[in-house]
């Protein structure tokens, strides 16, 4: 009987961990969403898929390579901190990269080094929000919509991201201030 | 043919007594109950797998119209249901395999569904491999707590997928060494299964899945000294074959012995690949620096597996005559020598062809001795495969190739005819 109790206790612990891990993920994101600062990153969406989690659009960010003044030893996959500023048009720009965590009062983002260019004078950044999950019928259309807007330079696609203490949550992908979900939905209705 | 009818007929004809007839009926009745129980297990597990996978697919649709809170509710609903089911099983139904396995499968899959839904809702990055890793780690304890074989099999599949995803994808970002720790974590369960139910179907599934998983993942070790992987793989197949030849497996049916079949097939296939000379030309032209080689992961893998194989080989052969040595087990050792010779000379190609030929002949003899048509034809197939490989070697003359093919073909007819005839006379 005693061993049964131990097993049951162990099971309850495991069950709690199984709930705790996703709940913790949710909580971390919810905080960033509720009290983080909003940024817009210019992007180019394309659509692949994941066998378990379905369709998403991959975001390729325009602002993804940075010149480095001090040639430190940058390693691929390493975590770095990007100091962010907003340019005149309201889009996020990377001011500088550092290995050390900036002060909390500054706007910064935790990201990874994708690859180092040449002698280490430039690095390419992998943003922690490069996937935007969409309903399976909409993901491909979203990519088409984006491609159609390409020649029109006034139409700017961008990712709407909340950032707090380096942590980020991707909220939406927009073209000219309208959610790509809404645009695709409109187009699909117009076609009917 | 119905058994009760036959029994009453046999009783009437006074072939068996009424007492024996009752015993036979009792035996079949108890066996019938056993098999219906097994059917229940199978249906339970399949049902749970289908429902669980269905939930994952529904989740993958990414419902845009549902609010975030609604989606979160649906993320946790299957998870909590699975947990409650498993808790119920632990308290009330612990002895029912069908309940235990089905509930665990359901919980296992709903953990995956829950994580994927949460990552979708918040557009959390992280590729497939990190998702799989979190999922498998959260479900590993279920194997032991629920004593669930299906959980263990799903876990094995999951970690293999993880290792493959992380190393074979075009984005080779990180190493898959973690796989070996993950594999180690489930081996105690395998041992428990071996102690408690060595004859069960679940054990047989493990006997296939574990070597298969290791074979798939070993390749992820490869980096710059890829040629050495051939040694690692030969040693691995030799090792698997030796395990399949241990006393525990020897008395089981061949088709239940994944180790022996995979070990033997793997060795033969590798030998056939290396029986072409291109590999050996490349090997001679490649600059392998001693210092780089002995620090490469391929070298460590080869050494570790070879030592393990040698250890098992020593214990198995300790009390046997040298005649009892299995040729396939020996190939992995001979290959190391052949490989070293191959660094400076092309004679290795000839040696490899000789090995395949010898294994083929010895397998045929083995099949003939044990009157096993399957083994006999396997041996013949090895020879045929060798002949086909040589068919494509353009530097052999047509006449020699012709003679080779005709003689192998005649060999097929003669041996099979002889074997079938021998069986008939025995009957």
Strand-strand pairing, A37-46 and A157-164: antiparallel
Encoded tokens for B372: 């096993």
CB-CB: which of B64, B87, B123 is closest to A131? Answer: B123
B244-285 residue pLDDT tens:
888 788 777 878 888 889 998 999 999 988 888 778 877 777
Percent of chain B with pLDDT over 90: 18
Q: What ranges in B245-326 are assigned the alpha helix state H?
A: 247-250, 258-274, 278-285, 290-294, 297-317
CB-CB: which of B80, B94, B145 is closest to A10? Answer: B145
- Tell me what pLDDT residue B143 has: 93
ipTM for the complex shown = 0.75
More confident residue, B189 or B420: B189
Alpha carbon distance A124, A118 (integer Å): 11
CB-CB: which of B64, B122, B174 is closest to A169? Answer: B122
Give the number of beta-carbon pairs within 8 Å between A and B: 111
| pLDDT range class, residue B74, cuts 50, 70, 90 | confident
Strand-strand pairing, A65-67 and A49-50: unpaired
Residues 6+ apart with CB under 8 A from B291: none
DSSP SS3 for A69: coil
Mutation for testing the B interface, residue in A11, A41, A138 having most B CBs under 10 Å: A11
Contacts of A19 in chain B (CB under 8 A): 76, 79-80, 83
B389-408 residue pLDDT tens:
887 776 777 787 788 788 88
Q: Is A113 on the interface with B (CB under 8 A)?
A: no
| pLDDT range class, residue B370, cuts 50, 70, 90 | confident
Contacts of A54 in chain B (CB under 8 A): 59-62, 120
Residue of B nearest to A57 (CA): B123
* B142 contacts A7? CB cut-off 8 A: no
* Nearest-neighbour CA in chain A from B308: distance (Å): 35
Contacts of A17 in chain B (CB under 8 A): 138
Q: Is A170 on the interface with B (CB under 8 A)?
A: yes
Encoded tokens for B33: 């109950």
Residue of B nearest to A16 (CA): B83
Tell me the CB-side half-sphere exposure of residue B68, using CA atoms within 13 A: 11
B159-218 residue pLDDT tens:
999 988 887 655 555 567 888 899 999 999 999 998 888 888 889 999 999 999 999 888
Residue of B nearest to A3 (CA): B145
Contacts of A134 in chain B (CB under 8 A): 62, 64
Residue of B nearest to A28 (CA): B122
Contacts of B78 in chain A (CB under 8 A): none
A80-136 residue pLDDT tens:
888 888 888 888 888 888 888 887 778 888 888 887 776 667 888 888 888 888 887
* Nearest-neighbour CA in chain B from A95: distance (Å): 23
* A54 contacts B60? CB cut-off 8 A: yes
B119-128 residue pLDDT tens:
888 888 767 8
Tell me the CB-side half-sphere exposure of residue B166, using CA atoms within 13 A: 22
Contacts of B125 in chain A (CB under 8 A): 127-131
- Whether the CB-CB separation of B159 and B177 falls below 8 Å is answered with no
Asked whether residue B139 carries a pLDDT value surpassing 90, the answer given is yes
Mean pLDDT, 10 residues at a time, chain A of 192 residues: 82 91 87 84 70 77 76 76 85 84 82 77 82 81 76 77 88 83 82 74
B282-296 residue pLDDT tens:
777 776 676 777 777
* A22 contacts B114? CB cut-off 8 A: yes
- Tell me what pLDDT residue B35 has: 59
């Amino acid at each position: 009987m005693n061993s049964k109790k131990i097993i049951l206790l162990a099971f309850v612990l495991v069950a709690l961990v199984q709930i705790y891990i996703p709940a913790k993920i949710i909580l971390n994101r919810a905080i960033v969403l509720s009290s983080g600062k909003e940024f817009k990153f210019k992007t180019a969406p394309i659509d692949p898929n994941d066998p378990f989690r379905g369709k998403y659009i991959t975001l390729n960010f325009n602002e993804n390579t940075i010149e480095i003044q001090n040639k430190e030893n940058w390693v691929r996959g390493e975590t770095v901190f990007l100091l962010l500023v907003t340019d005149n048009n309201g889009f996020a720009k990377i001011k500088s990269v550092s290995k050390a965590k900036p002060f909390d009062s500054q706007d910064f983002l935790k990201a990874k080094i994708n690859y180092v260019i040449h002698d280490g004078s430039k690095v390419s950044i992998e943003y922690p929000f490069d996937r935007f999950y969409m309903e399976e019928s909409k993901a491909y259309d979203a990519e088409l919509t984006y491609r159609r807007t390409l020649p029109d330079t006034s139409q700017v696609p961008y990712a709407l991201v909340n950032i707090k203490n380096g942590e980020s949550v991707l909220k939406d992908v927009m073209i000219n201030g309208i959610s790509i979900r809404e645009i695709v939905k409109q187009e699909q209705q117009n076609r009917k | 043919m119905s058994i009760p009818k036959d029994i009453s007929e046999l009783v009437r004809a006074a072939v068996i007594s009424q007492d024996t007839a009752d015993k036979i009926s009792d035996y079949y009745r108890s066996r019938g109950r056993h098999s219906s129980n097994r059917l229940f297990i199978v249906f339970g597990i399949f049902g749970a797998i289908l429902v669980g996978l269905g939930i994952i697919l529904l989740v993958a649709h990414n419902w845009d119209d549902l609010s975030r809170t609604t989606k979160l509710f649906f993320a946790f609903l299957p998870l909590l249901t699975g947990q409650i089911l498993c808790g119920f099983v632990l308290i009330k139904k612990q002895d029912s395999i069908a309940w235990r396995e089905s509930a665990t499968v359901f919980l296992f899959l709903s953990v995956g569904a829950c994580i994927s839904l949460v990552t979708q809702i918040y557009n959390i990055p992280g590729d497939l491999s990190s998702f799989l890793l979190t999922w498998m780690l959260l479900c590993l304890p279920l194997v032991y707590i629920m004593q669930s074989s299906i959980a263990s099999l799903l876990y094995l599949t999951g970690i293999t997928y993880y290792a493959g995803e992380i190393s074979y994808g075009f984005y080779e970002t990180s190493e898959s060494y973690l796989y070996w720790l993950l594999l180690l974590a489930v081996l105690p369960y395998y041992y428990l299964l071996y102690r408690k139910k060595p004859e069960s179907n679940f054990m047989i599934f493990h006997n296939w899945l574990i070597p298969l998983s290791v074979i798939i993942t070993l390749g992820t070790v490869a980096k710059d000294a890829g040629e050495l992987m051939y040694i690692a793989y030969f040693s691995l197949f030799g090792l698997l074959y030796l395990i399949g030849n241990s006393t525990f497996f020897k008395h089981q049916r061949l088709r239940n012995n994944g180790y022996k079949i995979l070990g033997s097939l793997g060795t033969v296939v590798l030998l056939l690949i290396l029986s072409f000379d291109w590999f050996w030309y490349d090997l001679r032209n490649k600059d392998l620096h001693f210092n780089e080689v002995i620090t490469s992961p391929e070298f460590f893998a080869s050494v570790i597996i070879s030592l393990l194989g040698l250890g098992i080989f020593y214990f198995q052969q300790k009390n046997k005559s040298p005649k009892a040595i299995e040729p396939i087990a020996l190939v992995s050792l001979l290959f190391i020598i052949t490989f070293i010779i191959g660094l400076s000379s092309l004679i290795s190609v000839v040696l490899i062809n000789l090995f395949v030929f010898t294994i083929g002949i010895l397998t045929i003899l083995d099949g003939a001795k044990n009157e096993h048509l399957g083994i006999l034809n396997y041996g013949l197939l090895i020879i045929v495969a060798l002949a086909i490989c040589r068919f494509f070697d353009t530097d052999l003359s047509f006449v020699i190739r012709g003679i080779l093919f005709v003689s192998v073909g005649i060999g097929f007819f003669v041996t099979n005819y002889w074997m079938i005839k021998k069986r008939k006379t025995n009957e």
